[in-house]
């Protein structure tokens, strides 16, 4: 199956996925499309990002939750991601959301898995409209 069909199928099926299924399935698509090395580079950039570290600290202190706008907005403040394509931007947002989930939400429980899935879907739709998932 070519990349265009894979992302098309993903966009149709995403609404039925649980939060962790969205991460797992898109991560697999990304690794197959761009390779494990590129995937791990994005993981490392998100895990070591000062931008997301600050966001997570602020969120924990203020007991606030994230939404699609806050995640995409913060991702676009990182120069590396600003001009990247939709695949990379969506992966970065998913990884940032999961980092927040582990570092903040695991302790505060302000959002459940369904809400996290909804945020992921909103991010996917936003990036589909603004950047697209070009081959």
Res 110: pLDDT = 82
What is the rounded average pLDDT of the residues 98-127?
93
C-alpha to C-alpha distance for 59 and 62, rounded to whole angstroms? 5
- The strand ranges marked E within the chain are none
pTM score of the predicted model: 0.93
Res 79: pLDDT = 95
Res 3: pLDDT = 58
pLDDT digits (tens, 9 = 90+) for 42-67: 999 999 999 999 999 999 998 888 89
pLDDT band at 2 (very low <50, low <70, confident <90, very high): low
Q: State both tokens at 33.
A: 């499309």
C-alpha to C-alpha distance for 44 and 38, rounded to whole angstroms? 10
């Amino acid at each position: 199956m070519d990349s265009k069909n894979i992302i098309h199928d993903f966009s149709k099926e995403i609404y039925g996925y649980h939060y962790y299924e969205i991460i797992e399935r898109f991560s697999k698509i990304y690794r197959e499309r761009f390779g494990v090395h590129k995937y791990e580079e994005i993981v490392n950039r998100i895990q070591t990002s000062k931008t997301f570290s600050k966001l997570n600290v602020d969120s924990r202190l203020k007991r606030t939750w994230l939404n699609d706008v806050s995640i995409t907005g913060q991702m676009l403040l990182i120069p590396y991601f600003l001009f990247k394509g939709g695949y990379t931007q969506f992966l970065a947002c998913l990884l940032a959301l999961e980092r927040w989930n582990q570092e903040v939400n695991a302790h505060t429980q302000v959002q459940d898995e369904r809400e996290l899935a909804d945020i992921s879907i909103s991010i996917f739709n936003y990036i589909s409209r603004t950047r697209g998932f070009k081959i």
